Amino acid sequence: MNLDVIWEKFMTMTSTEPAIESISKKIFSGFPFLYIHSYITKEDIERLLFYNAATVMKGKRLQADIIFVREQDQTFVYRMRFYVPNEKLVCCGRGCKDCIRFRDST
């Protein structure tokens, strides 16, 4: 799965929001950081980020990790990443404790 496509959709969707004046993504030490300039509250920005992330991830085996870092002069910084969950999808036949065969299917 190409995460660049997911990021592009997310950034396009978020940048077109009327409440967001500007958004940019920068990568430091391999971690993507979002710089968001907006005059809405931190809680509203987080609600918007989670909603847009859920929208672009719909139908895919992805999760989003969004962590607030800091705020200065109405610029909010978040560390954010999309990732594939690290869980077993098939049985390897070794009798592992967390084998998918023992998972409750409900």
Span 43-68, pLDDT tens digits: 999 999 999 999 999 988 889 999 99
In a domain, 94, yes or no: no
In a domain, 106, yes or no: no
In a domain, 93, yes or no: no
Domain count for the chain: 1
20-28, strands of its sheet edge to edge: 20-28, 31-38, 75-83, 63-72
In a domain, 104, yes or no: no
What CATH number has the domain bearing residue 21?
Answer: 3.90.1150
- Quote the pTM value: 0.77
In a domain, 11, yes or no: yes
Section 65-93 average pLDDT: 88
State the pLDDT at residue 88: 66
In a domain, 95, yes or no: no
- State which residues form the domain around 66: 3-83
